[in-house]
Structure 1
Amino acid sequence: MKLLARSTFKVLPFLLLAPAIHSCNFLQYVGLYKGKETKTSVTDTVKVDTTNRSYLKVYEKAVVDSGMFQVIKKGKDFYFDIPVALMGKDFLLINKISSVPIELNEAGVNKGINSDNKVIRFFIQKDRSEVWVSEVKPTVESTPGSAIAQSVAANFTSSFIENFKIEGYSKDSSSVLININKVFDGKANSFNDVFKDLGLGTSPNTNLSVIEQIKSFDANVVVKSVLTTRVTEGNSSVPVSIGVTSNIYKLPEQAMKPRFADPRIGYFTIPRWYFSDEQQELEKRELITRWKLEPKAEDVQRYLQGELVEPVQPIVFYIDPATPKQWRQEIINGVHDWQVAFEAAGFKNAIIAKEVPDSLDFDIDDAQYSSIAYIASPKVNAMGPSVVDPRSGQILEADVIWWHNVMTALNSWMRIQTGIVDSTVRGNVFDQEKMAHAIRFVSSHEIGHTLGLMHNMGSSFSFPVDSLRSPAFTEKMGGTATSIMDYARFNYITQPGDGVKLLTPKIGLYDKYAIAWGYRWFPETTPWAELPKLRAEIEKHQHDPHYWYGEQQDSRNVIDPRAQSEDLGDNAMLAGEYGIRNLKRMMPQIINWTTEKGESYYKAGRLYWGVIGQWYTYAEHVANNIGGLYLENPVLGDNKNAYTPVPRATQIEAFDFMKNQALEMPEWLFDKALLTKTFALKDSPMGPYEQAPNSLKREFQSALMHLMLSDERLLRMTEAELLFGKAKTWTVTEYLEAFRKEVFKKTLAGANLDINSRMLQQNYVDILLVSNNKTMDRLYTRKLSLVDQILAETRLDLCGIHGVNHAKKEPDDISFRNMRVDGMARTSDMLIAKRAELMAVLDILKKAKGGDHLTKSHYQDLILRIEYTINKK
Structure 2
Amino acid sequence: MKKLVIILWLFMTVGGFSQTPKTNPISEDEVLASTTGSTFLTSFMEEGELYLNIPREVLENPMLFIRYDYRKAYKYIQVLWSLEGDKVLLKHPRVRSSAGIILPVRHHKALKDNILAMFPLEKDMCKQGDLCINITSLVMDNIIEWTKGFTETLVPQLSLLQGSKDFHNEVVIKTRRGLMFEGSRVSFPVFFGLAALPEKLMKGRNYDYRMGFFNEDRSGIDNGEPKNSVANIARWRLEKKHKDRKLSVPVKPITFVIPPDVPEQWRPYVRAGIEEWLPAFESAGFEDAIVVKETDSLSEWEAHSIHTSYVDWGDSKYLRGFDESGGTVSHIIDFRTGEILKSDIYLGASVENVTDRYFIRCAPLDKRAQSLPFPQELTGRLFQRIAAHEAGHAFGLFDSNYGEFAYPVEKMSDIQWLKTMGHTPSVMNYSRENSIAQPADSVPPELLIQKVGPMDRYQIQWGYTEFPEEMSEQEEDFALERIMGMQDSIPWFRFNQSQAEVFGPATANEVVDTNNPVQSTKLALKNLERVICLMPTVVKDQKDIRRLENLYGRLLEHWKDHMLYVTSLLGGYDIRYKPISTPGKMFTPIPLAMQEEAMDFLHANALNPPQWLVAPEFLPKLEYSTFPDKMVEFQQRSVDELLRTRRFKRFEYMETLEGFEGTLEWYLSELQQGLFRELYEGSPKVGRIRQEIQSYYIDRAIMAVHQNAHHTYAEMKAFDYTAYSKGLLMAQLVKLRGDIRSKLKKEKDSDARGHWEHCLARLDSL
User: Would you say the 8 A contact 2:216–2:333 is kept in 1?
Assistant: no
Q: CA deviation at 1:756?
A: 3.6
Task: Kindly report structure 1 stretches of 4+ aligned residues shifted beyond 4 Å.
Answer: 64-67, 139-144, 169-173, 191-194, 357-362, 524-529, 819-827
Helix, strand or coil for the counterpart of 1:424?
helix
Q: CA deviation at 1:749?
A: 3.7
Counterpart pick for 1:158 among 110, 113, 116: 113
Q: Which residue of 2 aligns with 1:787?
A: none
C-alpha separation in 1, matches of 2:563 and 2:638: 8
Question: Cα 1:161–1:508, aligned 2, differ >3 Å: closer, same or farther?
Answer: same
Q: Which residue of 2 aligns with 1:762?
A: 695
Question: Cα 1:776–1:705, aligned 2, differ >3 Å: closer, same or farther?
Answer: farther
Q: How does 1:285-684 map to 2 (within 5 A)?
A: 285-296=230-241, 299-302=242-245, 306=246, 308-356=247-295, 363-377=302-316, 378-380=322-324, 381-405=326-350, 407-477=351-421, 479-501=422-444, 502-524=447-469, 530-554=476-500, 557-568=501-512, 569-596=514-541, 599-636=543-580, 638-679=582-623
Question: Cα 1:73–1:528, aligned 2, differ >3 Å: closer, same or farther?
Answer: farther
Q: CA deviation at 1:143?
A: 8.4
Question: Deviations along 1:111-164, whole A, 9 cap, x unmatched?
Answer: xx23421111100112xx1100111231567989xxxxxxxxx96611111101
C-alpha separation in 1, matches of 2:66 and 2:757: 65
Question: Cα 1:509–1:163, aligned 2, differ >3 Å: closer, same or farther?
Answer: same
Q: Which amino acid aligns with 1:765?
A: I
Counterpart pick for 1:772 among 686, 700, 705: 705
Q: Which residue of 1 aligns with 2:645?
A: 711
TM value normalised by structure 2: 0.86
Question: Cα 1:251–1:458, aligned 2, differ >3 Å: closer, same or farther?
Answer: closer
C-alpha separation in 1, matches of 2:144 and 2:400: 37
Counterpart pick for 2:66 among 90, 94, 118: 94
Q: Which residue of 1 aligns with 2:83?
A: 124
C-alpha separation in 2, matches of 1:776 and 1:539: 44
C-alpha separation in 1, matches of 2:236 and 2:182: 43
Q: Which amino acid aligns with 1:837?
A: Q
Q: Which amino acid aligns with 2:549?
A: G
User: Would you say the 8 A contact 1:456–1:483 is kept in 2?
Assistant: no
Counterpart pick for 1:737 among 660, 669, 676: 669
Q: CA deviation at 1:214?
A: 0.4
What residue ranges of structure 1 are gaps of 5+ in the alignment? 1-63, 101-108, 145-153, 273-282, 680-689, 778-818
Q: Which residue of 1 aligns with 2:32?
A: none
Q: Which residue of 1 aligns with 2:725?
A: 830
Question: Cα 1:399–1:656, aligned 2, differ >3 Å: closer, same or farther?
Answer: same
User: Would you say the 8 A contact 2:259–2:296 is kept in 1?
Assistant: no
Q: Which amino acid aligns with 1:188?
A: N
Question: Cα 1:114–1:476, aligned 2, differ >3 Å: closer, same or farther?
Answer: closer
Question: Cα 1:468–1:672, aligned 2, differ >3 Å: closer, same or farther?
Answer: closer
Q: CA deviation at 1:672?
A: 4.9
Counterpart pick for 1:179 among 121, 124, 134: 134
C-alpha separation in 2, matches of 1:564 and 1:711: 18
Helix, strand or coil for the counterpart of 1:595?
coil
User: Would you say the 8 A contact 1:416–1:610 is kept in 2?
Assistant: yes
Q: Which amino acid aligns with 1:833?
A: L
Q: CA deviation at 1:210?
A: 1.5
Percent identity, please.
24
C-alpha separation in 1, matches of 2:254 and 2:397: 15
Q: How does 1:54-203 map to 2 (within 5 A)?
A: 68-97=40-69, 109=71, 113-126=72-85, 129-139=86-96, 157-168=112-123, 174-185=129-140, 187-190=141-144, 197=150, 201-203=152-154
User: How many residues of Structure 1 are paired with residues of Structure 2 in the alignment?
Assistant: 700
C-alpha separation in 1, matches of 2:508 and 2:575: 13
Q: Which residue of 1 aligns with 2:223?
A: none
C-alpha separation in 1, matches of 2:728 and 2:171: 64
TM value normalised by structure 1: 0.76
Q: Which residue of 2 aligns with 1:106?
A: none
C-alpha separation in 2, matches of 1:358 and 1:840: 73
1:692 is the counterpart of 2:692: no
1:841 is the counterpart of 2:700: no
Q: Which residue of 1 aligns with 2:754?
A: 857
Question: Cα 1:115–1:349, aligned 2, differ >3 Å: closer, same or farther?
Answer: closer
Q: CA deviation at 1:271?
A: 6.9
Question: Cα 1:65–1:211, aligned 2, differ >3 Å: closer, same or farther?
Answer: farther
1:253 is the counterpart of 2:199: yes
Helix, strand or coil for the counterpart of 2:78?
strand
Q: CA deviation at 1:531?
A: 1.2
Q: Which amino acid aligns with 2:457?
A: K
User: Would you say the 8 A contact 1:459–1:563 is kept in 2?
Assistant: no
User: Would you say the 8 A contact 1:67–1:216 is kept in 2?
Assistant: no
User: Would you say the 8 A contact 2:403–2:426 is kept in 1?
Assistant: yes
Q: Which residue of 2 aligns with 1:788?
A: none
Question: Deviations along 1:721-763, whole A, 9 cap, x unmatched?
Answer: 11x22x2467011111112222222223443222244233212
User: Would you say the 8 A contact 1:553–1:564 is kept in 2?
Assistant: no
Q: Which amino acid aligns with 1:78?
A: L
Question: Cα 1:531–1:574, aligned 2, differ >3 Å: closer, same or farther?
Answer: same
Helix, strand or coil for the counterpart of 2:382?
helix
Helix, strand or coil for the counterpart of 1:673?
coil
Question: Deviations along 1:208-241, whole A, 9 cap, x unmatched?
Answer: 21211201112111011101134464xxxx3311
Q: Which amino acid aligns with 2:46?
A: K
Q: CA deviation at 1:78?
A: 1.5
C-alpha separation in 1, matches of 2:364 and 2:288: 39
Q: CA deviation at 1:851?
A: 5.5
Helix, strand or coil for the counterpart of 2:123?
strand
User: Would you say the 8 A contact 2:402–2:493 is kept in 1?
Assistant: no
Q: Which residue of 1 aligns with 2:190?
A: 244
Q: Which residue of 2 aligns with 1:14?
A: none
Give the CA RMSD over aligned residues.
3.0
Question: Cα 1:462–1:867, aligned 2, differ >3 Å: closer, same or farther?
Answer: same
Q: CA deviation at 1:864?
A: 1.6
Q: CA deviation at 1:511?
A: 0.7
Helix, strand or coil for the counterpart of 2:621?
coil
C-alpha separation in 2, matches of 1:460 and 1:500: 21
C-alpha separation in 2, matches of 1:834 and 1:188: 56
Helix, strand or coil for the counterpart of 1:481?
coil
Q: CA deviation at 1:192?
A: 7.2
Q: Which amino acid aligns with 1:413?
A: R
Q: CA deviation at 1:697?
A: 3.2
Helix, strand or coil for the counterpart of 1:270?
coil
Q: CA deviation at 1:776?
A: 13
Q: Which residue of 2 aligns with 1:11?
A: none
Q: Which amino acid aligns with 1:832?
A: G
Question: Cα 1:590–1:571, aligned 2, differ >3 Å: closer, same or farther?
Answer: same
